Amino acid sequence: MRSRSTVSIARPIRAFTQALAQWRPDWQVHVELDGKGLPESTGRVVSARLARSPGVTAVYSVGGANLAVARAFADAGRPCRAFIGHDLDADNIGMLRQRQLCAVLHHDLRHDLHSACLQFMQAHGLNVTAPPPALSRPEVITPFNLPAPWADA
């Protein structure tokens, strides 16, 4: 049985892997969901995948614990040639600065939460005068366009 969080991310992951398979049918894609974004379990899962799959050289991480992923590659003595993460948290900012991540897909979560709250209030009949703003658009943040507050901190 899958947890609710696993089910909620399964559809986007499936869409991503299907698109990648169409674009690059010569690439083999492995999906690992058992790490649950926790450093210890993610490190174990990635280490096991690297031991079973010597051709793995890239990661698209939607679940966090990216430091554990990088450490698993280092412990295996293998380069991670492309590493994409999600959200500008403290770990990912540091990894971008150190060039351990190639890019991070970032959403303005405050904006999205504001939109969700307005929609929730409207659904419950509260008189909200402003229409809810559209959801934020994801930004691709790299070591070369890291926003100024985080670039040199």
DSSP 46-64: HHHHHHH-TT--EEE-SSS
- Determine the average pLDDT of the residues in 91-112: 87
Same domain as 61, residue 19: yes
Which of these, 114, 92, 111, 112, lies nearest to 103 by C-alpha position? 92
Same domain as 24, residue 4: yes
Same domain as 96, residue 123: no
DSSP state, residue 85: E
Same domain as 137, residue 64: no
User: Within 10 A of 17 (CB to CB), how many other CB atoms are there?
Assistant: 14
Contact 95, 85 (CB under 8 A): yes
Same domain as 118, residue 43: no
Q: Is the pLDDT of residue 143 over 90?
A: yes
Contact 88, 106 (CB under 8 A): yes
Q: How far apart are the first and last CA of the chain?
A: 43
Tally the domains of the chain. Answer: 2
Domain-embedded: residue 153: no
Domain-embedded: residue 149: no
Give the residues across from 103 on adjacent strands: 84
Same domain as 81, residue 33: yes
Domain-embedded: residue 151: no
Question: Which domain, by its residues, includes 93?
Answer: 1-106
Look-up of token digits 């985080």: 150
Same domain as 96, residue 33: yes
| Per-residue pLDDT tens digits for 46-94 | 999 999 999 999 998 887 899 999 999 999 999 999 999 988 889 999 9
Average pLDDT of the chain to the nearest whole number: 83
Same domain as 126, residue 97: no
Same domain as 124, residue 86: no
